[in-house]
């Protein structure tokens, strides 16, 4: 179960219970049928709210997550505990990846339930919040290539962050401006500061990923965003929204 900031704020209990059930059922079923590798997906929102930056894989359990999505964050942290326990007791190589903000074709473009970039693409050009928070975005096609590498070659039980570099972090305002450019929008962009900003930043280090894949090339942000906007326009009737 996944959703954007405002859905998380409204349904913390549902996010906790449903994801805990999913975690346990999937990993236990995999163990019972003899699956030798499972790759689960975590999120940078699981990291402590009060922390130093950049965050890395060793810091997951160092403090409470942001209050806005504590149910989802704690449930996702438990996958790391699950994985380590299956390895300790049964020798299973179950692991997890931690992507930053994912976007791309076939995303969920729901204004209420979607994440920030698909939400910006779908809604009229009113941005919820001040536009100052900063995020790292990873194109879904790049993430798919990295998922296959993790499944086939990544040898560790400990999780790994899948992200562009710290230098590629952008503000929500910069992301909104990029959407405006990609869609050819000529009107005014309005920032609704009555809406919460959420966590200001979650800057993640991809040093561990670069240790394994120093030559991996990410799709440039504006190119990936243009491809995503073009897909959304061409497939508007069928897109999740």
Distance CA 189, CA 54 (A): 30
What would you measure as the largest C-alpha separation in the chain, in angstroms?
59
Active-site hit among 11, 53, 72, 212: 72
Q: Is 72 a catalytic residue?
A: yes
Q: How far is CA 220 from the centre of its chain?
A: 18
Kind of pairing between the strands at 160-162 and 134-135:
unpaired
Q: Among all residues, which ones are annotated catalytic?
A: 72
């Amino acid at each position: 179960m996944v959703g954007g900031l405002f859905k998380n704020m409204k349904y913390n209990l549902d996010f906790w219970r449903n994801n805990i059930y999913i975690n346990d059922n999937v990993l236990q079923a995999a163990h019972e049928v003899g699956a030798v590798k499972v790759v689960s997906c975590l999120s940078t929102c699981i990291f402590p709210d009060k922390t130093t930056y950049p965050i890395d894989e060793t810091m997951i359990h160092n403090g409470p997550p942001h209050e806005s999505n504590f149910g989802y964050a704690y449930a996702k942290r438990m996958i790391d505990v699950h994985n380590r326990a299956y390895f300790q007791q049964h020798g299973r190589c179950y692991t997890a990846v931690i992507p930053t903000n994912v976007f791309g074709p076939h995303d969920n473009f729901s204004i209420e339930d979607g994440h920030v970039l698909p939400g910006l693409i779908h809604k009229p050009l009113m941005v919820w919040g001040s536009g100052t928070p900063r995020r790292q975005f990873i194109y879904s096609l790049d993430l798919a290539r990295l998922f296959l590498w993790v499944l086939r070659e990544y040898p560790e039980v400990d999780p790994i962050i899948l992200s562009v570099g710290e230098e590629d972090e952008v503000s929500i305002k910069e992301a909104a401006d990029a959407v405006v450019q990609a869609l050819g929008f000529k009107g005014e962009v309005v920032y609704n500061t009555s809406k919460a900003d959420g966590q200001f930043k979650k800057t993640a280090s991809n040093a561990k990923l670069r240790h394994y894949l120093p030559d991996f090339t990410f799709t440039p942000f504006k190119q990936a965003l243009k491809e995503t906007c073009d897909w959304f326009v061409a497939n508007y009737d069928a897109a999740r929204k």
